[in-house]
Structure 1
């Protein structure tokens, strides 16, 4: 399998929508809105980094990074997600490759760090830890994780972009 990780191109949006919808179709934790979140981030200009995994012209996976707001203010923080891989290619390392490329690119750009809501066992391999003292209201703390690129985790409340509430 020869997979290329590259930035999203304008012509990729429909394929990203479809693969994200399929990736989360049977996920127990999904509200079925992940594909709408990506579109809303793109439409609002808040999709800071969007990477796809491609093989032979077919998109197999996607990861989105967007700015988050910390209060009190701490610049340079990003949210990860959604991370999507077509069901028949899940478990093959595509999501991990997308995450590694994305995190390295954010470091290169001088980001302070990333936060996400996800399964701790999966994201620990990239250095994510329980986010305290960062807080994301109404999310169980064990699923809210952070990775600081520069210095310690700040004590702050985090808000993801309003696009994360998109339902269509």
Structure 2
């Protein structure tokens, strides 16, 4: 398996994998593929990586900038991340997360936030941080990982693509 930045020709495969990965999930609004499309069209997709195996895309991860009020810079949101259903549970998602975080760290990012499963994301160092609030998300599922410097406090806002249906 190789992990690489996505290219223009990967859009449809990313869309299909994302739709399949989130289909029927009770925690999903089924808008994840449209979120990625909107982030891309609004030039807000900071980092977009695919996992490829034997020339076929089997996973995708997206990172986009977030704002933290009152004021913090260099923070990103992780997600959506998706792995083709028949390849889930084989380390693809973990490899995408690790590579993406490494790339953000090397680029000098301050930190990363996400809404997700603490059992999965805790292995990468993400923790629930009461100093950071994401309205509309149960606090136990909102986590942060400082990448350089100290943890900040405030209210997190994702790009508007996340709120659009």
What TM-score results when the alignment is normalised by the length of structure 2?
A: 0.98
CA deviation after TM superposition for structure 1 residue 112, in Å: 0.1
1:89 aligns with 2:87: yes
Is 2:66–2:156's contact at 8 Å kept on the other side of the alignment?
yes
Deviations 1:15-57 (A, max 9, x none): 1001100000021211111000000000000000000000112
Structure 1 residues without counterparts, runs of 5 or longer: none
Structure 2 residues without counterparts, runs of 5 or longer: none
The partner residue of 2:66 within 65, 68, 71 is 68
**Residue 141 of structure 2 aligns with which residue?**
143
Which range is displaced more, 105-114 or 152-161? 152-161
Counterpart Cα distance in 2 of 1:74 and 1:22: 35
Deviations 1:109-161 (A, max 9, x none): 00000000000000000000002201111211100000001232111110000
1:134 aligns with 2:141: no
Aligned residues: 165
What TM-score results when the alignment is normalised by the length of structure 1?
A: 0.96
